[in-house]
Structure 1
Amino acid sequence: MPSSAARLDLVDALRGFAIASIMLLHNIEHFDLTHLPAGQPAWLSGLDRYVWDAAFFLFGGKSYAIFALLFGVTFHLQFSARAARGQDFRPRFVWRMALLLAFGLCNSLFYQGDILTLYAVLALALLPMARLRDGVVLAIALLLLLQPHAWLALLRALPAPAASLPDPASWAYFGRANDYLANGTLFDVWYGNLTNGKEGVVRWSWEIGRLFQIPALFMLGMLAARRGRFALSEANRTFWQRALLLALLAFVPLYAVDGQLGQWLAAEGVRRPVSVMVQSWMKLAFMVVLVALFALACHAPAGARLLRSLAPLGRMSLTNYVLQSLVGTTLYYGFGLGLYRVTGATACLLIGIGLALLQGCLCAWWLRHHRQGPLEALWHRATWAGAGRRLAAA
């Protein structure tokens, strides 16, 4: 298999893995509608807690990070392909992100936690990075991963570390959202998500450091693509083995520290920003563990089967992400079937697995008859509107 084709297959499959795991998490949390069903037997409530903790340990904060990493990969592939033809992709990329913002706002009507709107805005940080040297891009990415906002909060807290802090601002927004998601009409959900919900998600993303981590992951994905790290080669097998070892060496102590912060740092003014830093680094390390394990699995002789099963999900990731929101919120919210009232984490996990398998089958069927998913095709045509057929197809 040519390296370029192998690289794309691995990227598609990894993106499919991220989409499937996002599906599981969103189902378990009722698509941001917080509720514990009443009247469950004790054994089921205990199992729900185990399923919740296990799912968020494995995928919470990691699936979206994989998605962001691969977003940077895709940017490099598009930018370099156009550069090889003597074209500057960046102006067209700005328009492409405006279209993604529109997709994200439509998705936000149903699911307030939509990530597409944030990606569309933060992806503009890639424009000045596209022609910078690797070392400069890496330095900027590492600076963002250090969570500068949390460091500033820590420095501000040092003169009076014992002072009590108010609750994070996002909590009030999510508290209000729970009411209209559970009891509101479809139009109540639409209005609430685009006003209260979007502001709450942006504030929350700022509070936990995602607004710094996302563009950093875009840049790291771009650098990985520059070096061809997603090609199926022996050199890359060695690279991912080393990445796995280093990520595990980082994750284990960070995980241990995170579990003890409450005892070690009693002063909330210090503990909260330190927690933001430790958790963001811990989840980043575990994300690298997942990516490395996945890449190594695909390098194995049986890896072709894994590529074939997940690549269709990844090739239709935009369609799948939006479809998840439409189906999931209809299942769980008050305007739909209201399953939030009777489903705990275990039942939601089973629903999520069923929906992910169904999506995989639908994607495989669709791609046997079409080159792209429906939203992917629409996004592509709109991206190259006015450019002429030859330029759009190049």
Structure 2
Amino acid sequence: MSENTFNLKAPRIEVVDALRGLAIMAIMLLHNLEHFDFYYFPEYLPEPIKVLDKIIWETLFFLFAGKSYAIFSLLFGFSFFIQNDNQAKKGNDFTGRFIWRLAILFVFGLINTMFFSGDILMIYAVFGLILIPVRNLKTSYVLIIATFLLALPMEWFNFFNILFNADYVIPANISNAYYANMQLYFNGNSFVDHVVGNMSVGRWASVFWSWENGRFFQAPALFMFGLVVGRKQLFVSSPASIAFWKKALLFAILLFIPLFTFKSFIPEIVANKDLQNSLLVIFTSWSNVAFMVVLVSSFVLLYQKEAVNKVFSKLIPFGKMSLTSYFTQSILGSFIYYRFGLGLYQYTGATFSLLIGITLFLLQLGFCTWWLKTHKQGPLEYIWHKATWISFKKEKKPVII
């Protein structure tokens, strides 16, 4: 998650806010389809609704699953560049402030986990530390490190050991056991039990799932790519940046098609289940990143069109208040679907959950638009900013514009 009031002398880069708004909207819709990790598919629904549920589920997951998270990761690195660069121009070292800022984000994530165990803020707060040692490296070195991480070296290590080492012990899937244990408190109606469960069982389920699906490598890699995007000013509208995104779109499409096709056929062409799992993790990650680039480049290019800009720019308030929006969707979602609230998980398939998600998005978007008419930042963004720049000693303070 990124700071929503950049320390810039130039106007904010609106396409970034709008793009962040798209990502938080997509996350909202997917979380509703999943009932915020309380997976349940009602059997009482008419068959035509079940068919529609399947279509909606597969379509939204194809478009956004793993991609909206990747967009967030890219923008996290981009925002770090903006903050670090601004402080460097003032003669300030941003290192200490950034570490403190991540600590605050970790606390936000801890609170958010009380409502939704799939919180990503805590993970971002930890992984974000990797930006400190690479921030002053040459761009070519940053790209090499990021590409290496994006290749998922640990998964390739597992793959080749499974293939050639008969004595190799395959890492156990730990997250599934934790997710199964989550049902023990999900099936109850005590909010306190949910909080305790999410802070322990649910939190570890999310962490182990991230490890088993390559997120420990993918997220830092995308942070670094976002840093490079900032350095190259690729979100600033110019002939050079437009040319870049056109090339990026073409290459991403050409990469995504074979990656996604191969991923889809892995179960049919690879008999060994362990090899299947390793390859699925690798090629799912790569195809998601490729499609993320398709989404980002298409969004940036379409944003230059006046007619499309009028629609996409509506997402700007949502993007500016991304932390507040992400936080409140966890609170609202848990109340709507969990047993301690309305318990709608047992009545809603993908179709009805999507309608709920769209309604929540429109309500949140309306609130963000209204709030920013009289405030420069969202409520949590304001707290994060103020806490980040709390005065430990005399130093030059950022100017909010």
Q: Shorter-chain-normalised TM-score: which range?
A: over 0.9
Instruction: Name the residue aligned to 1:393.
Output: 399
Instruction: Name the residue aligned to 1:282.
Output: 287
Instruction: Name the residue aligned to 2:242.
Output: 237
Counterpart Cα distance in 2 of 1:4 and 1:178: 50
Deviates more, 1:13-22 or 1:234-243: 234-243
Shift of 1:307: 4.5
Pair 1:361 & 2:361 matched: no
Shift of 1:169: 1.3
Instruction: Name the residue aligned to 2:29.
Output: 24
Shift of 1:160: 5.6
Indicate if the aligned counterparts of 1:38 and 1:342 stay in contact, CA closer than 8 A: no
Counterpart Cα distance in 2 of 1:132 and 1:186: 47
Shift of 1:308: 2.8
Amino acid at match of 1:119: Y
Deviates more, 1:165-174 or 1:364-373: 165-174
Pair 1:207 & 2:204 matched: no
Counterpart Cα distance in 1 of 2:155 and 2:200: 26
Instruction: Name the residue aligned to 1:325.
Output: 330
Counterpart Cα distance in 2 of 1:177 and 1:192: 7
Indicate if the aligned counterparts of 1:184 and 1:335 stay in contact, CA closer than 8 A: yes
CA RMSD of aligned residues (A): 1.9
User: Residue 77 of structure 1: SS of its match in structure 2?
Assistant: helix
CA 1:360 to 1:162, structure 2 compared with 1: closer, same or farther past 3 Å?
A: farther
Amino acid at match of 1:117: M
Matches for 1:43-58 after TM superposition, within 5 Å:
43-58=48-63
Shift of 1:331: 0.2
Instruction: Name the residue aligned to 2:303.
Output: 298
Deviations 1:310-348 (Å, cap 9, x if unpaired)? 110010000000000000100000100000010000000
Indicate if the aligned counterparts of 1:72 and 1:220 stay in contact, CA closer than 8 A: yes
Amino acid at match of 1:141: A
User: Residue 168 of structure 1: SS of its match in structure 2?
Assistant: coil
Matches for 1:1-394 after TM superposition, within 5 Å:
8-159=13-164, 168-386=173-391, 391-393=397-399
Counterpart Cα distance in 2 of 1:174 and 1:107: 18
Amino acid at match of 1:132: L
User: Residue 313 of structure 2: SS of its match in structure 1?
Assistant: helix
Instruction: Name the residue aligned to 2:5.
Output: none
Amino acid at match of 2:126: V
User: Residue 302 of structure 1: SS of its match in structure 2?
Assistant: helix
Indicate if the aligned counterparts of 1:164 and 1:269 stay in contact, CA closer than 8 A: no
Counterpart Cα distance in 2 of 1:389 and 1:297: 41
With structure 1 as the length reference, what TM-score do the two structures score?
0.96
Shift of 1:166: 8.0
Shift of 1:379: 0.4
Counterpart Cα distance in 2 of 1:339 and 1:300: 41
Indicate if the aligned counterparts of 1:63 and 1:287 stay in contact, CA closer than 8 A: yes
Deviations 1:104-152 (Å, cap 9, x if unpaired)? 0000000000000000000000001111110000000000000011011
Counterpart Cα distance in 2 of 1:229 and 1:130: 17
Deviations 1:177-198 (Å, cap 9, x if unpaired)? 1231232410111011111111
Counterpart Cα distance in 1 of 2:336 and 2:345: 8
Query: What is the aligned residue count?
Result: 392
- Structure 1 residue runs without a partner (length 5+): none
Counterpart Cα distance in 1 of 2:184 and 2:85: 47
Indicate if the aligned counterparts of 2:302 and 2:309 stay in contact, CA closer than 8 A: no
Amino acid at match of 2:399: A
Indicate if the aligned counterparts of 2:162 and 2:170 stay in contact, CA closer than 8 A: no
Indicate if the aligned counterparts of 1:6 and 1:232 stay in contact, CA closer than 8 A: no
Deviations 1:88-112 (Å, cap 9, x if unpaired)? 1111000000000000000000000
Identity %, equivalent residues: 45
Counterpart Cα distance in 1 of 2:134 and 2:222: 13
- Structure 2 residue runs without a partner (length 5+): 1-7
Shift of 1:373: 0.2
Counterpart Cα distance in 2 of 1:284 and 1:196: 29
Counterpart Cα distance in 2 of 1:386 and 1:339: 46
With structure 2 as the length reference, what TM-score do the two structures score?
0.94
Amino acid at match of 1:326: I
Deviations 1:60-112 (Å, cap 9, x if unpaired)? 00001100100011000000000001111111000000000000000000000
Amino acid at match of 1:48: D
User: Residue 30 of structure 1: SS of its match in structure 2?
Assistant: coil
User: Residue 341 of structure 2: SS of its match in structure 1?
Assistant: coil
